[in-house]
Homo-oligomer: A and B are copies of this chain.
Amino acid sequence: MRATVMYGAGDVRVETVPDPVLRERTDAIVRVVQSCICGSDLWPYGSMPATGQGRRMGHEFLGIVEDTGADVAGLARGDLVVAPFVWADNTCDFCRQGLHTSCRHGGGWGSPGVDAGQGEAVRVPQAQGTLVTLPVAPDSALLPSLLTLSDVFCTGHHAAVTAGVSARTTVTVVGDGAVGLSAVLAAKRLGAERIILMGRHKDRTDLGREFGATDVVEQRGDQGVALVRELTGGDGTHTVLECVGTQDAIDMSIGIVRDGGAIGRVGAAQYTHVPLGFDTIMRNVTVTGGVAPARAYIEQLLPDVLEGRIEPGRVFDRTIGLDDVPDGYRAMAGREALKVLIRP
């Protein structure tokens, strides 16, 4: 089959790789119908040291079950399924508490010996625990929105849930990428009435307004902090959803959050330290969030997508075939595309 392999910064290739086969009794084989490129794929795309071996890419996909191992119950050939962006047994103590990203028998797509999403098919470990069946036809117009349950919408939702967004909280979303816009939509869905979106790309912040942002702040750094404080009577917002991952973004989040408030951070941290000194003790600032346990959220978010109450798939603004994946990376890295959907 064909699949995407990254060999270093800027070097993404679509190559022939071995067809997936069942190895464990808990495996399934899934033929990919839709996949996509994640903002977090752009970090290695920007900085990965060159390697001869390459790294299989993609951790967001939905597709059709082609085969299942002997121990896989509840899944049948022909089922349309979505995969969360890590695989997990869904039964260990971490999974039971909703932290599938720390599953005792889980792992990441593209890790050694494991397929990844940006290809024609995938061997899915722990298939019964990992995959969620989707009650729609494989040509449903809902597929892009359902695909966002793999990662990007669940990630925005995780930022909002961990930070405690509700109808009683004001919200700032830092970042107008696909995760930031998903966080806006998630905050709106959780009842937030005041959502300040920090971003400087008008086409993106326009979608953010449609998703529920009430204010847009283009400025960054101290100026951005000052403007958000000005918009909130000097207080800052009860919650800040950090959806970028840079030092500037987390520093700004600390400056923006209201006393007693929380920062839900889901940006893939490129920083090593957060400025949480004495003043943040006096202000009772909480830093929370992390990599989203999408599996814990999919069933809960599914009805709103199926019934059309939310359309998180609107973050996709370009659709390509598998051979065009290198161009898709270039387009996202160059900010020509917000988020690229792949139909293998």
A residues whose Cβ falls under 8 Å from a Cβ of B: 94, 97, 99, 101-102, 162, 259-260, 262, 265-266, 268-278, 280-291, 293
Contact = CB atoms under 8 A, between A and B. Distances in A.
Given A265-B281, A273-B273, A259 B291 contact: no
Given A268-B281, A274-B276, A286-B289, 20 more contacts: A94-B259, A99-B284, A101-B259, A101-B284, A162-B286, A262-B288, A265-B281, A269-B277, A269-B278, A269-B281, A270-B278, A272-B277, A273-B274, A274-B287, A281-B290, A282-B291, A284-B289, A286-B286, A286-B288, A288-B288
Contacts of A290: 280-285
A232 to B, nearest CB: 12
Contact of A273 (B162, B260, B276, B285): B276
B284 A287 contact: no
A141 to B, nearest CB: 34
A194 to B, nearest CB: 15
A324 to B, nearest CB: 30
B273 A278 contact: no
B282 A101 contact: yes
Top 4 A-B pairs, shortest CB-CB distance: A284-B290, A102-B259, A272-B277, A273-B273
A273 B268 contact: no
Contacts of A285: 290
14 contacts: A99-B259, A162-B286, A262-B288, A269-B276, A270-B278, A272-B277, A272-B278, A273-B276, A276-B276, A285-B290, A286-B286, A286-B287, A287-B287, A287-B288
